[in-house]
Homo-oligomer: A and B are copies of this chain.
Amino acid sequence: MITVGIVGGTGYTGVELLRLLAQHPEVRIASITSRADAGSEVAQMFPNLRGRLRLKFEDPAKANLRACDLVFFATPNGVAMAQAPALLDAGVRVIDLAADYRITNVAEWSRWYGIEHASPAWVAKAVYGLPELNRAAIRNARLVANPGCYPTAVQLGFMPLLEAGLVEPDHLVADAKSGVSGAGRKAEVPALFAEAADNFKAYAVPGHRHLPEIRQGLSQMAGNPVGLTFVPHLTPLIRGIHATLYARIKSAADFQALFEERYRNEPFVDVLPSGSHPDTRSVRAANLCRLAVHRPQGGDVLVVLSVIDNLVKGAAGQAVQNLNIMFGLPETEGLQQLAVLP
């Protein structure tokens, strides 16, 4: 039994983590902290957990997180970099679901996030937690930087192509669409139902914080810096990301076979048959990325369609997958729930 703690946990990533961990046979949730909600029942905030999770939010000052085998940070950016080092030094392993340890270039991180990094030494030791890219390193990692939601969908879609060097890496396009839960459980006008329902819009076209994260991953795959245009959009879904990826073909190949081969042994990446169009709902509430590869009219542009549930494979599910890898459990433990459709 692995004893875990959760710092934060009043957001959507938090409740999803709780849903998954409460059903995980090898995990015991010892503590969940929240300054604002200390003392109140978790199930009162998240009624889906009622009757199944008897846990109260604890004051961070009082929680004994050092007794945990692993602590998840489901906090806003900037919290983990301040608080994780003490836990790490005490021998606790950490998975940060925020962005603090994702970008290896600390100066670039500061540029995009607008703050100084509080623990740059740990950035160098952190492992980027995309299992399909870094499984071996995750196994022994003390600190895992859990990938962002857009970065997960986009990287898994481009990975086989860039690793094989089959597309031109200088003008990649990632047109990505996200459900509104991606904006978090924060009271802000643009995320209101009456604003976001029956509406579709792009945002952050001049530059989104996930851009450097994606670019770093793609460049690692390509072995060289890549050029990427990344446009995120808000679409009236609760959950789900659909990334539509465009790349110019450099060398012809059997792209379908390439993808199938690359992900043959991946339990959480599903390459659909040629000609398919994945629905976001086909991964709703499940830890899965489904991919489809197209070459429209046999031309020189490849189109990859990539869908995930932003809260699962794009956040909490991937974090549990990383936990399983870090503790030598079967990678699919506690992550076998079928997608909910309709």
Q: Footprint of B on A, CB under 8 Å?
A: 12, 15, 19, 22-23, 46-52, 171, 173, 175, 177, 179-181, 183, 185, 187-189, 191-203, 205-207, 227, 229-231, 233, 235-240, 242, 244, 246, 248, 270, 272, 275, 277-286, 290, 292, 294, 296-297, 299, 301, 303, 305, 307, 311, 336-342
Contacts and interface: CB of A to CB of B under 8 A. Distances in A.
A48 B341 contact: yes
A304 to B, nearest CB: 10
A279 B189 CA distance: 14
Given A175-B244, A185-B194, A194-B238, 17 more contacts: A15-B341, A23-B336, A48-B281, A48-B286, A50-B290, A177-B177, A179-B194, A179-B200, A181-B342, A187-B189, A192-B192, A201-B307, A207-B296, A229-B303, A235-B235, A246-B246, A285-B340
Given A171-B248, A193-B192, A203-B277, A338 B236 contact: no
Contact of A47 (B52, B173, B242, B278): B278
A200 B235 contact: yes
Given A198-B284, A199-B281, A191 B188 contact: no
Contact of A282 (B47, B173, B205, B279): B47
Contacts of A192: 180, 185, 187, 191-193
A229 B299 contact: yes
Contacts of A281: 48, 198-199
Contacts of A230: 296
Given A192-B180, A194-B181, A338-B19, A229 B244 contact: no
Contact of A238 (B47, B193, B303, B339): B193
A290 B173 CA distance: 23
A183 B128 CA distance: 42
A195 to B, nearest CB: 6
A175 B185 CA distance: 29
Candidate in A19, A189, A238, A244 with the most chain B CB atoms within 10 angstroms: A238
Contacts of A339: 47-48
Contact of A338 (B49, B237, B248, B292): B49
